[in-house]
Amino acid sequence: MEALHRVLPEGLPVSIQVVVATLVLGILYSIITADRPFAGFPVISVNGLSPKKSWLWHGREALAEGPQRFSGPFQVMTGTGPKIVLPNKFADEIRNHPLLNFNKAFAKDFMVNYPGFEALRLGLHGENLIQETVRIKLTQSLGLITEDLVDETTASLHDVFGDSEEWTTRYIRNDMLEVVARLSSRVFLGRELCRNRRWLDIAKSYTVDSFLTSRLMRAVPSFLRPLAYLLIPQSKSLRNAVRDARKLINPEVQRRKAAVDAALAAGEKPPKVADTIGWMYEIAKGADVDYVAGQLSLTMAAIHTTTETSCMALLDICEHPDVAQQLREEIIQVISEHGWAKTSLYKLKLMDSFLKEGQRVRPMGGSTMHRYVDQDITLSDGTVLPKGARIIVATNFMDPKIYPEPEKFDAARFLKMRQQPGQENSWQLVTTNPAHTLFGHGQHACPGRFFAANEVKIVLCHLLLKYDWRFVPEEGRPAPRVFEAANGVDQNSKIQVRRRKPEIDLDNY
């Protein structure tokens, strides 16, 4: 402080001196404690930028160039420190490794210790409540919730897209966000709350605000993050969302608990439920659980990915209109014969392939399988992953040895691969393997992918049979939103839609 005092102008108010001293000490602390690259792993940079800016603005390019420049693992410098990138060939080797921690890998990325991030904190430190609710209850109840999803799809598409037979221009991400929020909330919270306007606003904005706030905070030095958190408008929105969600959900939770307790006291079976409030209560087995954080956590996971997948599918349909008619023919054949039976969605094999191909050509992320190294690990090639490192696995969607003509969009690519002897179950949308790791791979693969796949297929059936789709004339496919290694549909993306007469009545099967 004395040295700092000597360089400051005399007569400077004490308050200003304190601010300057705080900033200088903060900068020094940030420099001293900054995460540095791990020794022995080259650091990637592109386009003459620093490693950190290379990742921030050209993350996908960095991940693509790394394997070409280096023979083994390399590092990217993210806003929260280095991450070691493993070539895709290690996906199987590390997928279930006991010394690689899944939850710890995200703790620094999502600022979970700040107010408003309760959902992320529960998801990362909630003793597997969310994972078990999805894996054990939701996935095993897919047949029971199909009718609810169909009903909510019918209602939401009518409310969002209407019945105009004239071409109208829509902001497709905003529209699909509304639809997906309603569908997911129907299963998570039931019919009443899924149409509650305040809840839907929370469900849509909480996901976006969480990721945006985290991204903005990752872009500033660590010592400035508390200040950035206070200045970012979305952080206040997060806190308000949690507050209002408690007002909406807690009364319903208490009502459910009272019904269960009353039934047990009377020696009767508790009422059967088909939504995640009840399922979480069953999984918790009497433990003290933050049900609101749980609902927000489920909502984040479901809405973020499913909205992107649905939007990408519609953009692919606009870009490949011939595929739309092929998909319609499959929908008509399957639903006419089987209705919304448990196996109907499985029989939509071309649609399954179309969705998986869309993920391959324009994946939402250039890396996957995030892990934290609890202890030093030696890989099969002798590479030692140091304790405390965070690792990711590069995707492998453009390998011509696996995908002939990888730059070409082939809607039937995975359908043809499934037709090979012994490959029927190897290339489904929900199947993970080293060649297609968008859902992760191994024991930490996304447990909600089965629900998400069913949800998207039901929506797509209705979108295709009830509406025509095209790009805005003279504009073509909207440019994606890119940040770090993520690739998404920009909120300003526009396409056109008009009502068509469906060949079959999907609403009454």
Provide the pLDDT for residue 295: 93
Confidence of residue 416 (pLDDT cuts 50, 70, 90): very high
Cβ count near 197 (within 10 Å): 7
Contact by Cβ (8 Å): 489, 315: yes
DSSP 37: P
Q: How far apart are CA 331 and CA 504, in angstroms?
A: 9
Does the pLDDT value for residue 6 go beyond 60? no
Q: Which residues pair with 480 in a beta bridge?
A: 489
Residue keyed to tokens 């059936």:
461
Does the pLDDT value for residue 3 go beyond 90? no
pLDDT in tens, 188-218: 998 889 999 999 999 999 988 998 898 888 7
Contact by Cβ (8 Å): 354, 316: yes
For the segment 321-347, the average pLDDT, to the nearest whole number, is 95
Q: Please name the residues in contact with 370: beta carbons below 8 A apart, sequence gap of 6 or more.
A: 102, 105, 106, 390, 391, 392
Confidence of residue 8 (pLDDT cuts 50, 70, 90): low
Contact by Cβ (8 Å): 85, 394: yes
Q: How far apart are CA 207 and CA 123, in angstroms?
A: 13
Provide the pLDDT for residue 33: 42
**What's the order of all strands across the beta sheet hosting 367-373?**
74-78, 81-86, 390-394, 367-373, 100-101
Write down the mean pLDDT value for the chain.
89
For the segment 412-416, the average pLDDT, to the nearest whole number, is 97
Confidence of residue 265 (pLDDT cuts 50, 70, 90): confident
What's the half-sphere exposure (Cβ side, CA atoms, 13 Å) at 398? 11
Provide the pLDDT for residue 126: 59
Does the pLDDT value for residue 291 go beyond 60? yes
Q: What is the gyration radius of the CA atoms in the chain, in angstroms?
A: 25
Provide the pLDDT for residue 10: 65
Does the pLDDT value for residue 245 go beyond 60? yes
Provide the pLDDT for residue 23: 45
Tokens of 326: 């092929």
Does the pLDDT value for residue 108 go beyond 90? no
Residue keyed to tokens 């448990």:
342
Q: Please tell me the least confidently modeled range out of 57-66, 277-286, 316-325.
A: 277-286
Percent with pLDDT over 90 in the chain: 68
For the segment 298-317, the average pLDDT, to the nearest whole number, is 93
Q: How far apart are CA 351 and CA 136, in angstroms?
A: 26
Q: Residues for the chain: how many in total?
A: 509
